[in-house]
Amino acid sequence: MWNRITQALALLATPLAVAAAVAPAQASAAAPVHYQLTMIKAPDGASGNVPRAINAAGHTAGEGTFPGHGAQAAYLSTDPKQLTHLPGIVPGDPTLADATSAYGLNSSDVVVGSAYETLPVRESAVVWRNGTPTDLHILPTDGHVQARAVNDAGQIAGTGFDTGNAWLYQNGKTTVLAPLPGGHAAEAFGITADGQVLGLSSTSNDTTKAEATVWRDGTPSDLGTLPGGTWSEAHAMNSGGIAVGAAAVGGGEFAPRHPAMFAGGKVIDLWPDLGGSTFGTAQAINKAGTIVGDGRYGWVYSNGVRTDLNTLIPPDTGLKITAAYGINDAGQIVASATTASNRHLSLAVLLTPDAG
């Protein structure tokens, strides 16, 4: 459950009606939406790399590269041609000043994520308001704490990875969220407008097995797994109660995962033929039920059909969409892309539905 810590440490060295209506196997008569692509890149050379969140206005947050800074750092972009560097909580330490990550964003441009502090070195949950970081001091004995999502009410959800605690922060108070019955560890990835928290929980001492979980008023509910699987996780849920995330195929934490939808008491595999050892996740869903995610490429799922986003953007961009992280109710998608000349460098892009 805790192998995500490796990615965070790298910063120090430098990222019912419903079930029938949404069955993924059936084609739809509706024509797919096409998108205009805009690079998230400023004239001064600042560039988004991994865009993790988008809000209702189309503003984005994630990790980016800034001139004069040696490593990727958290950013906020209120315009694709403008990126604001989000500083760490120890700006006087050149090793840690840029050791920041942004994961969540609300309609007021409040950004949440993590930053590193010293004495001792630890990853701490942080909120940026007007570009200024505040250490939330959540789970102070835990060495790796991340704030993963924030809603418009200012409620923040996140995880302490060392202690295995999912948590909810609201009104200046932190509540550790109880695991499912029998479980001893939990993680939180998302939060809804009304404060429901999405994530996963173990159901026993074996933390390589976990179930997608939603916490309502602090009480956990199991969303299920795919047949034969013993791992699932929920990342987001829309106002209609449809949750999305990932579910393991034929195993636990280390088995291949497919993008999954949790609806009407069912777990639906959104990419049954993903195949091999490839992992995929449904990262986000909007009010209309349109879902975006990753796997072998970035994709969008609408009207019962999953479509490669690369077939829906202008053919002359020279870019390949590798993952889609967020979608707002206007249908704008924030995604990462690579070029043919450098498939190792991730570039942040904004996809806007083509009015034509």
C-alpha distances out from residue 133 to 103, 125, 229, 230, Å: 14, 10, 40, 38
| Cα–Cα distance measured from residue 349 to residue 319, given in angstroms and rounded to the nearest whole number | 10
**Residue 14 contacts residue 312 (beta carbons within 8 Å):** no
| Cα–Cα distance measured from residue 155 to residue 224, given in angstroms and rounded to the nearest whole number | 26
Look at the block and give the residue holding tokens 């953007």: 313
Residues 266-304 pLDDT 10s: 999 999 999 878 899 999 999 999 999 999 999 999 999
Average pLDDT of span 87-114 = 92
What is the token pair recorded at 242? 């449809």
Enter the pTM of the model. 0.91
Looking at beta carbons, which pairs linking 289-292 to residues 24 or more positions away fall under 8 Å?
Answer: 289/22, 289/238, 289/240, 289/242, 290/327, 290/331, 291/244, 291/259, 291/261, 291/327, 292/324, 292/325, 292/326, 292/327, 292/333, 292/335
Q: Rounded to a whole number, what is the distance in angstroms from the first to the last CA of the chain?
A: 45
Residue 215: strand pairing partners: 197, 220
So what's the pLDDT on residue 243? 98
What is the band of 16 on the pLDDT scale with cuts at 50, 70, 90?
A: very low
Domains of the chain and any CATH numbers: 30-353 (2.130.10.150)
So what's the pLDDT on residue 356? 64
**Residue 143 contacts residue 122 (beta carbons within 8 Å):** yes
256, with CB counted inside 10 A (0-12, 13-18, 19+), is middle
So what's the pLDDT on residue 4? 46
Under DSSP, the state recorded for 227 is T
3-class secondary structure, 241? coil
